[in-house]
Copies of this chain bind each other. A is one copy, B any other.
């Protein structure tokens, strides 16, 4: 926040942390593997970040910020749910090629029983949900879906589902792709729903009344 002219050790550690998670997984990541990836001394992890967990949290957050910023214009250009999914798939493919398929996902898993990691991960996750929420709100304007859906909740659900898919793909690549295709097909349904317009809206409303 204060000094922007130090892309040195501190930044190398942040990058090294991500590299370590990519290569060894969260459980295989330590101050030593991070330092090795960063090409710096192991003790500097503690000097600059206090603990491994704090470094991991910071690294995850920074990386996500950059990633979100990098995709901001693409998100802004989205005009339909399928396009949103398309951006998601592109993003996913890029992460995959870059090797950090599931860095956030693994952090999320590690955060389950690590309160020190949980807070930064929550914040990181919120960066994604925020972005998606904005898109959803714009895309769903005038759609019957907007009348039923809790947009923030939906944004969280989408983000969470995406994380699950990343984890699954990490263990079963073919299955992951297939799942993605299946969701894409489902998105067609939602669009059809939108195109039905007034009729769907009417049926929808009555359906909702029954439900409440």
Number of copies: 2
- Over the window 147-170 of chain A, the binary record of Cβ atoms lying under 8 Å from chain B Cβ atoms (1 yes, 0 no) is 011101110110111111101101
Minimum CB distance partner of A190 in chain B = B189
- List of B residues within 8 angstroms of A186 by Cβ: 145, 148-149, 154
A156 close to B185 (CB less than 8 A): no
A147 → chain B closest CB, angstroms: 10
A159 to B178, CA, bound (A): 13
A184 → chain B closest CB, angstroms: 9
Report the stretch among A10-18, A61-69, A86-94, A113-121 that lies at the interface: A113-121
Of the candidates B102, B150, B175, B192, the one whose C-beta lies within 8 Å of that of A193 is B192
Query: Given A156-B178, A192-B193, list of 12 further CB < 8 A pairs?
Result: A24-B113, A26-B27, A27-B110, A105-B109, A105-B167, A109-B110, A125-B171, A160-B161, A163-B168, A188-B211, A195-B207, A199-B199
State the A residues within 8 Å of B (CB): 23-28, 101-102, 105-106, 108-114, 118, 121-122, 125, 145, 148-150, 152-154, 156-157, 159-165, 167-168, 170-172, 175-176, 178-183, 185-186, 188-193, 195-196, 199-200, 203-204, 207-208, 211
A-B contact pairs, 13 of them (CB 8 A): A25-B110, A27-B113, A106-B112, A111-B170, A148-B186, A149-B186, A150-B185, A163-B167, A188-B207, A188-B208, A188-B211, A189-B193, A192-B207
